[in-house]
Amino acid sequence: MNILLLTGLYDTKPASGGSYLMWAYVQELKRQGHNVYLFYYTSADSDPRKAAEEPYTWYLPDLKDWKHAQKPVHQKVVAKVKGLLVAKKPIVDAQEKYFMRDFGWLGPALGAALKGVQIDVVQVDFPWMMNVVDYLPKGIAKVFVSHEAQFMLHTREEQTKVAERCKYFEASLAAKFDAVLTLTDVEEAEWKRLGMGNKVFTSCMGLELPDRVGQLAQRADKLVFLGSGKHQPNLDGIRYFLLDVWPILQGKHPQLDLYVTGKYDEAFLAEFEHVRGVNWVGFVSDLLSLMNGAISVVPIRLGSGIRVKILESMALGAPVVSTTMAAEGIGAINNKHLILADGAEAFAQAVSKLYTDAELYNQILLASHQYVYEHFALKLSTQRRVVLLQSIIDAAKP
C-alpha cells in the first residue's frame, strides 16, 4: 500500500505520547512492506533534519509561520461612532487560526515529491492539520485520524463557547474526508453525535513493547507521572495532584518520592519548587529503570484520545492509579489491570492501598502487563489499521 501521511507530530526522539505513536506507527508500516510518503511537522526541541533524512520524508515549515487560510466567515461587527456606522474588520478568533491554515503551497510540493507515484490513501493526523483536505488531489481516499478531539477537550474544560466553535470547524472539515479514525470508542461516539454516522471508526495505534516482565518487582518508595508540560491536560493533572493529592500522601507516607518526566516551563516549576519529595527529571531515556518498582499516577481530568502514559506504564511493569476519564478507551478493568479513582481523597487512598499491599501490587502489575501485550502490540495494531484503510479505499472507489 502507498500511503501519503501528513502529520502534525513526528519526532526521531519522541518525547510525547502523540509523537511516539506516530513514530512507532510509521516504522512498523515500513517493516510490513508498505510505502509511506511522509510530510511532517515536529517539535521545536528536536532536529527536523534528522527525520527528513529518511527516504520519502519531507519536513513541513514551523506551524507558527503558516498564514491564515482565508478571510474569516464571521459577520462584520458594526459600531456606532459619532453617529456613523463603521464596519470593523472581521474577527478572527483563536479557533479559526488553529483550524484554518494556508496549505496552498502544499499542492506543488506534493506534485514534485510524488511524481510518478500512485497514492492509495491519504492519512491526515491531528486536528490542526485538518484543513489540508482542501488542498489534496481529487480521486484519492482521504482519512483523518483524530488523536484528541478539540471540542471534547474544551467541553471538559467547561469552555462552552470555544467547544462550540471547535465543533463547527471539526465537523465541517471532517465531512470532507472519506473516514474519521479515533483512538477510543468514547471519542467515536462523540464524533457520531456530530453527524459523522458510519464514517467514524475506532482504530487505536500500538506501542513498541519492551521484553516481558520476567519476575515480580520489588516495590520502591516512588511514584511516577509521565507527561510533558506542553500539553494542557498534563499541566492541569499534575497541578491538581500536587495541590490536592500529594499533601494527603505525604501525611501518610512521608518516605514517598514523586518523579515527573517531561519539560515544564520555569514559572510552573517555580510554583512548586518548595514542595517536598518532588523530582522534575525532564526527558528520561531509560524509562524501564525509572518505572521499576514504581506506581504510575495518572490524575488527568481533561482531554480526550488515549493516554499513552497508561499503556507505557503497563508495558514497563508499573501498576497504574488513574482517573476514570484518563483510562477511557483502553478497556482495562478496575482493580484488575489498574485502579480507578476520582477525587483527591479517593485517589490518595488508591495509591496508598497499592503501595502498602505487595500482593495487590504484583497482581495488577502482571495482569496489566499481559493486557497491554494482548491488545496494544504495535505489529497487531498496525495490521488492523491497514485492513481498515483498505476497506476505506475500496468504499471510496467510484
The Cα–Cα gap between 328 and 204 comes to: 12
Domain that holds residue 155: 2-68+101-208+378-396
**Are 193 and 50 in a shared domain?**
yes
Distance CA 390, CA 386 (A): 6
Q: Are 207 and 377 in contact (CB under 8 A)?
A: yes
pLDDT at 91: 43
Does residue 182 carry a pLDDT above 90? yes
pLDDT digits (tens, 9 = 90+) for 108-124: 878 877 888 899 999 99
Contact yes or no for 10/21 (Cβ under 8 A): no
pTM for the model stands at 0.80
The CA distances from residue 227 to 5, 18, 232, 313, in Å, are: 26, 11, 10, 12
Per the listing, cell 474544560 goes with 157
Q: Which residue has the higher pLDDT, 41 or 299?
A: 299
In-domain check, residue 272: yes
Mean pLDDT score of the chain, rounded to an integer? 83
Considering the domain architecture, whether residues 157 and 248 belong to the same structural domain is answered as no
Among residues 140, 123, 219, 218, which one has the least CA distance to residue 180? 123
Residue 82 lies in a domain: no
Scan for cell 526541541, then name that residue: 45
Tens digit of pLDDT for each residue in 272-282? Answer: 989 999 999 98
| 218 closest CA partner among 364, 350, 362, 368 | 362
Q: Which amino acid is at 225?
A: F
CATH code for the domain of 196 = 3.40.50.2000
Q: Where are the beta strands (DSSP E) in 221-330?
A: 222-225, 257-261, 278-282, 295-298, 320-322
Calculate mean pLDDT across residues 13-31. Answer: 78
Q: DSSP labels for 373-394?
A: HHH-BHHHHHHHHHHHHHHHHH
Q: Do the domain assignments include residue 343?
A: yes
How would residue 53 be classed by pLDDT, with cut points 50, 70 and 90?
A: low
**Total domains present in the chain:** 2
Q: Which residues pair with 36 in a beta bridge?
A: 3
Q: Confidence class of residue 87 from pLDDT cuts 50, 70 and 90?
A: very low
Mean pLDDT calculated for residue range 77-82: 34
Name the H helices within 32-93: 48-52
pLDDT at 42 over 70: no
